[in-house]
Structure 1
């Protein structure tokens, strides 16, 4: 199926991206040897991420299955879009990756991610990783052929102030703010009726494509959201919890709302409690304002509690135009962590 891209009066993306002809590796004088990541690196890369996340005091730990997903996806060019810095003993001390989602139709985006081992910080490694990431992101955007507004984006936990300073020095600007929220499940759960004309049923494979289409429709008016291709939609499900996930069907059995959950057991020991996590929640525009999102969350909380979970968690864009932040607060969720998106707009 072809996708009609919106016309713009912008100069061609190849011009705006100002991509370098060559993306040089960081200086060997930094003490690390650089090469692309491979699937063989998953255990060592997971250990590196654990060291980074522990030092940064973030309330999560990236598990080995999640790291393995970095290599999944036919659209990914792991050979050219990832970087691993190894010390003299072959231990990974820094990493980077650039990802350009294939479904982008309004803004073509390149997400730059990476990190540096706490023992190797303040040596210039972080700046070198960011420089490589931005050079490669510009190359990827230029090669996309999509003459759309373009963006290089990175997310930073708000407690990691050094990373925020590093991105600011690299020319990035904070543009969006996100909150992680949680609700205790030992408190009385909200009683929210499902609106007439809709039934809420457990997620099942036969509903998944309908949920994808509903998601693309529901988020078409959300800042920073782009349509997801079927492969993107199915990607990143190593922590997916189907028994905690729900869809809402109208009288024609079309998906008009959905709630997809994750089970992040690696986080439980760090935080000192068990939790179910709402990965995605959405309601198509025609069904907004009728309490369907609240009903989905109420049913989700009940499912979490039935499985012995102590908290329900989710993340939200604090400037979400549908008022999601207010909805979650009204249901008893409270902020416990936050992050910021930094971008270069092209």
Structure 2
């Protein structure tokens, strides 16, 4: 039976979620994709669904999905790619369509080439030999970490003298978190500068529980660190971002923010919290997370190809 390839739409969100959870079960042993996450991705302002999304069908069943977006406005393009085992040919069809669109998108941006990134589980359902044959290669590895929570032990930490910690209370605090994010991540691998409005879209600001966003600082330095957490994942509480300005590192702010987030999730009845980290992060983040009891749940590789 031949595969049928078409663009995805918002009405496909539930079917895409089911497909991604089927891939989750294969790759990490349990479903961890939520419908609202898929819907948010399909609604990205830098995604034109008719040109930047794909679904491959085998009969009436969707067996592969792809999504392309463009944060850089230049040569850097990002894609997502999911395929069920036994349908690798459908996966290749989707991948080829995304590569062609990435070239086109880069040209639209005035770039001479497209540098495309794709995150795949370190043991993916898609056959990576196909990736290598098409000129893809791994450039980075990330770990998704997790930690069990205990409401009796994960209590709100004491704030040391000279340190201050507050919730993100309003528009001024949101703008401050954005500024801290841009400054603390500007030297990280694959960082893309974002305006305030773009960043609000990135964090899905309208759906974000801002009471789970905190700002930390010192009397000497002022606001110097932040943590953004989300409690809308079914599988676990999630720490989306945590950052501390370079001049404020090694002062305990990152650990304080982590412990505060653990306590907040434990008080809400969460059993597990997770976050993602670049294994080559040079700020000491992997060691900080290990000291606070976070262990590897699974690994994700960043694959890259350069298309001209």
TM-score w.r.t. the length of structure 2 is 0.87
CA distance 1:337–1:56, shift in 2 (3 Å): closer
Q: Give me the whole-angstrom Cα distance separating, in 2, the residues matched to 1:257 and 1:84.
A: 40
Q: Is the 8 A contact 2:67 2:80 kept in 1?
A: yes
Do residues 145 (structure 1) and 115 (structure 2) align? no
| Contact map agreement 1:116 1:125 (CA 8 A) in 2 | yes
For residues 284 and 59 of structure 1, the distance between their equivalents in structure 2, rounded to whole angstroms, comes to 36
1:229 equivalent in structure 2? 195
Residue 136 of structure 1: aligned partner: 101
Per-residue Cα deviation, 1:286-340 (whole angstroms, up to 9, x for no partner): 2122111111111111111212222232111011010100111112221121111
**55-64 or 286-295, which deviates more:** 55-64
The answer to whether the aligner puts 1:174 opposite 2:138 as a matched pair is yes
Q: 1:334 aligns with which of 277, 285, 295?
A: 295
Deviation at 1:87, TM superposition (A): 3.7
Matched residue pairs, number? 303
Q: Hey, what's the Cα distance between the residues in 2 that align with 1:293 and 1:146?
A: 38
TM-score (norm 1): 0.78
Instruction: Give the corresponding residue for 1:112.
Output: 79
Q: Is the 8 A contact 1:244 1:304 kept in 2?
A: no
Counterpart in the other structure of 2:229: 261
Of Structure 1 and Structure 2, which has the larger fraction of its residues in strand? 2
8 A Cα contact 1:73 1:232, kept in partner: no
Does the residue aligned with 2:243 lie in a helix, a strand or coil? Answer: strand
Q: What does residue 66 of structure 2 align with?
A: 96
Are the structure 2 counterparts of residues 76 and 231 from structure 1 closer, same or farther at C-alpha, using a change threshold of 3 Å?
farther
Per the alignment, in what secondary structure is the counterpart of residue 101 of structure 1? coil
Return the alpha-carbon distance in structure 2 between the equivalents of residues 59 and 151 of structure 1.
32
Instruction: State whether structure 2 residue 175 is matched by structure 1 residue 209.
Output: yes
Q: Does 1:276 align with 2:237?
A: yes
**Residue equivalent to 2:10:** 39
> 2:26–2:125: 8 Å Cα contact kept in structure 1?
no
Aligned counterparts of 1:75 and 1:182: Cα–Cα separation in 2: 30
Alpha-carbon separation, structure 2, partners of 1:305 and 1:317:
25
Aligned to 1:71: 42
Q: Which moved more, 1:331-340 or 1:236-245?
A: 236-245
User: Per the alignment, do residues 321 and 169 of structure 1 end up closer, same or farther by CA in structure 2, a change over 3 Å counting?
Assistant: same
Report the RMSD for the aligned CA atoms in angstroms: 2.8
Deviating more after overlay: 171-180 vs 66-75:
66-75
Name the structure 2 match of 1:243. 211
1:60 Cα shift? Answer: 4.3
The separation in 2 between residues aligned to 1:198 and 1:251, in whole angstroms, is 6
Cα-to-partner distance string for 1:213-263 (whole Å, 9 max, x where unaligned): 110110011111111233432235387443332112555996421111122
User: Contact between 2:81 and 2:118, CA under 8 Å: does it hold in 1?
Assistant: no
Aligned partner of residue 290 in structure 1, secondary structure: coil
Question: SS where residue 266 of structure 1 aligns?
Answer: coil
**2: CA distance between counterparts of 1:63 and 1:190?**
28
CA 1:254–1:36 in 2, change beyond 3 Å: closer, same or farther?
farther
Q: Post-superposition shift, 1:204? A: 2.7
Question: Does 2:247 correspond to 1:286?
Answer: yes
Moved more, 199-208 or 188-197: 188-197
Q: Describe the superposition over 1:157-188 as per-residue Cα deviations: whole angstroms up to 9, x where unpaired.
A: 11226443332222111110111112222384
**Offset of residue 141 of structure 1:** 1.6
Q: In 2 relative to 1, CA 311–131 (structure 1 residues): closer, same or farther, beyond 3 Å?
A: same
Q: Distance in 2 between matches of 1:98 and 1:40?
A: 18
